[in-house]
């Protein structure tokens, strides 16, 4: 089978099943995993699929959301650099909101032991990381916990954020762009993110460059709502300049 034929068949399988993975495709077509990765890269460049950790999804699945374990392993080096840069943006003292997200969780793990902060979060993994931190007064926002992200959502969480003001929010997004703003696959999670944005005096978006230009089902804000974007060096000079023209500062770690 020639590469174009194989790629067409991969696209058909992705559209039928909603997702394809490298290992299964390599077995099915009797080729190496590297060959399949090249096929997926070609389909991604053509705008037909979007590559995710271990495979790809067809373009058009705006509601697709990888689980927490999968997202933790994606762009790990970039997320570590972003988290390190975000530490420099922590206030000396005051109140933070930490959104649910794997990059934000890396920031939580990197908060210095001598920090004296009040932290509010609706993320169970982040709360677990900070529960024993000696300098942090931790407030865990409650609600229905989504299995896929381990984040609290719905009315309880929305009420909690409506009742506070924080010095800074470190927020995550599955997609961001000047055109489509800040997006995530789930409506309930988007509502909590929107409430957190409204509760903070300063909004810092932590998002690796692969999320630039991505668009998902639920929109929770404009890029102009963000004071600072911390991303990685994969964001081009041109794209960074476009973001900054809208009034958002950009740091590329």
SS (H, E, C) 105-116: HHHHHHCCCCCE
> For the whole model, what pTM was predicted?
0.76
For residue 243, give the nearest of 189, 182, 169, 157 by alpha carbon: 182
Q: Do 89 and 108 sit in the same domain of this protein?
A: yes
pLDDT on residue 49: 86
Question: Count of CB atoms within 10 A of residue 168's CB?
Answer: 21
Residue with tokens 């790809």: 56
Over the stretch 73-109, which tens digit does the pLDDT of each residue have? 567 889 999 999 999 999 889 999 999 999 999 999 9
Within a domain: residue 66? no
pLDDT on residue 210: 85
Choosing from 61, 88, 103, the residue where a domain stops is 61
pLDDT on residue 144: 96
Q: Could you tell me how far CA 203 lies from the centroid of its own chain? A: 15
Is 206 a residue whose pLDDT tops 60?
Answer: yes
**Rounded-to-integer distance, Cα 23 and Cα 38, Å:** 13
What domain count does the chain have?
2
* pLDDT band with cut points at 50, 70 and 90 for residue 48: confident
pLDDT on residue 69: 60
* pLDDT band with cut points at 50, 70 and 90 for residue 60: low
Q: Do 128 and 207 sit in the same domain of this protein?
A: yes
Mean pLDDT over each residue of the chain, to the nearest integer: 91
Residue 163 burial (C-beta neighbours within 10 Å; 0-12, 13-18, 19+): exposed
CATH number at residue 20: 1.10.10.10
Is 114 a residue whose pLDDT tops 80?
Answer: yes
Q: Do 25 and 99 sit in the same domain of this protein?
A: no
**Rounded-to-integer distance, Cα 195 and Cα 133, Å:** 26
What range does the domain containing 14 cover?
3-61
* pLDDT band with cut points at 50, 70 and 90 for residue 65: low
Residue 251 host element (H or E): strand 249-252
Within a domain: residue 135? yes
Q: Do 153 and 245 sit in the same domain of this protein?
A: yes
Within a domain: residue 148? yes
């Amino acid at each position: 089978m020639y590469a174009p034929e194989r790629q067409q068949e991969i696209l058909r399988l992705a559209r039928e099943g909603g997702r394809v993975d490298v290992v299964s495709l390599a077995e099915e077509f009797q080729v190496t995993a590297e060959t399949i990765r090249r096929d997926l890269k070609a389909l991604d460049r053509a705008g037909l699929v979007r590559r995710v950790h271990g495979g790809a999804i067809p373009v058009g699945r705006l509601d697709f959301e990888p689980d927490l374990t999968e997202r933790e392993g994606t762009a790990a080096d970039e997320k570590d650099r972003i988290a390190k840069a975000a530490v420099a943006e922590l206030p000396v003292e005051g109140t933070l909101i930490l959104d649910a997200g794997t990059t934000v969780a890396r920031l939580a793990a990197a908060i210095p032991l001598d920090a004296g902060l009040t932290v509010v979060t609706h993320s169970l993994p982040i709360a677990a990381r900070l529960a024993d931190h000696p300098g942090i007064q931790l407030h865990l926002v409650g609600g229905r916990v989504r299995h896929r992200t381990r984040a609290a959502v719905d009315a309880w969480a929305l009420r909690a954020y409506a009742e506070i003001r924080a010095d800074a929010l470190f927020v995550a997004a599955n997609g961001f762009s000047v055109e489509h703003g800040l997006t995530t696959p789930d409506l309930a999670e988007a509502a909590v993110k929107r409430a957190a944005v409204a509760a903070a005096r300063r909004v810092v978006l932590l998002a690796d460059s692969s999320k630039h230009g991505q668009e998902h089902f639920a929109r929770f804000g404009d890029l102009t709502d963000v004071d600072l974007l911390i991303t990685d060096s994969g964001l081009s000079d041109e794209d960074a300049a476009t973001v900054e023209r809208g009034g958002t500062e950009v740091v590329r770690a």
